């Protein structure tokens, strides 16, 4: 019998994921900067690892990418480092925050270039949502992030419900 949401909780640190890779010419747009889509793919990959670790299954599907911020361009030849950690869990939903950094391998200079929130739903073998463990934030920062993510999650759910109502209700 699978463990349900109410049976146990996992700390944020249990599912943290890190991915790094060197940006190459095939990742570049005509201006010589890394394509945003290349970074979004990496974000989805590292966020998936964190979500799957938490859910205990690789049956996690991406349902949204939000608050995608492209703060600075990424240059070819820079090392990209992506760090993913859970922000919130619902019954079957998992919200993962991803921060993207680059490192110049010649100088060692590191800077944040992107951030994004990715929401997944854990599903069973029939594609139906399945429960995931609760998230247990431990530090004050994790508790604050969890609270903010919970508010965004509830607002999103309310918006979806309102969009399904007939006009005028």
CA 23, 29, 35, 37 dihedral sign is: negative
16 within a domain of the structure (yes/no): yes
Report the number of distinct structural domains present in the chain: 1
In the predicted structure, residue 4 carries a pLDDT above the cut 60: no
So what's the pLDDT on residue 7? 57
The CATH number for 89's domain is 3.10.129.10
42 within a domain of the structure (yes/no): yes
pLDDT classification of 103: cutoffs 50, 70, 90: very high
So what's the pLDDT on residue 167? 66
74: domain range? 9-164
Q: What is the pLDDT of residues 61-100, one digit of tens each?
A: 999 999 899 999 999 999 999 999 999 999 999 999 999 9
In the sheet that holds 93-103, the strands lie side by side as 17-22, 79-89, 93-103, 110-122, 60-70
121 within a domain of the structure (yes/no): yes
Query: In terms of pTM, does the model score above 0.85?
Result: yes
Q: Mean pLDDT across the stretch 23-48?
A: 95
169 within a domain of the structure (yes/no): no
90 within a domain of the structure (yes/no): yes
């Amino acid at each position: 019998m699978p463990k349900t949401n109410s049976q146990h909780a996992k700390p944020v640190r249990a599912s943290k994921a890190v991915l790094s890779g060197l940006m190459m010419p095939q990742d570049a747009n005509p201006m010589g900067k890394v394509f945003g889509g290349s970074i979004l793919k990496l974000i989805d990959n590292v966020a998936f690892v964190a979500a799957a670790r938490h859910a205990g299954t690789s049956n996690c599907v991406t349902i949204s990418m939000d608050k995608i911020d492209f703060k600075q361009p990424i240059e070819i030849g820079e090392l990209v480092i992506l760090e993913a950690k859970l922000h919130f869990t619902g019954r079957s939903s998992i919200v993962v925050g991803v921060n993207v950094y680059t490192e110049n391998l010649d100088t060692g200079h590191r800077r944040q270039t992107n951030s994004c929130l990715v929401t997944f739903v854990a599903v069973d073998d029939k594609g139906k949502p399945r429960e995931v463990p609760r998230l247990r934030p431990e530090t004050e920062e994790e508790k604050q992030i969890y609270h903010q993510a919970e508010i965004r999650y509830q607002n999103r759910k309310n918006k979806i419900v309102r969009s399904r109502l007939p006009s005028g209700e």
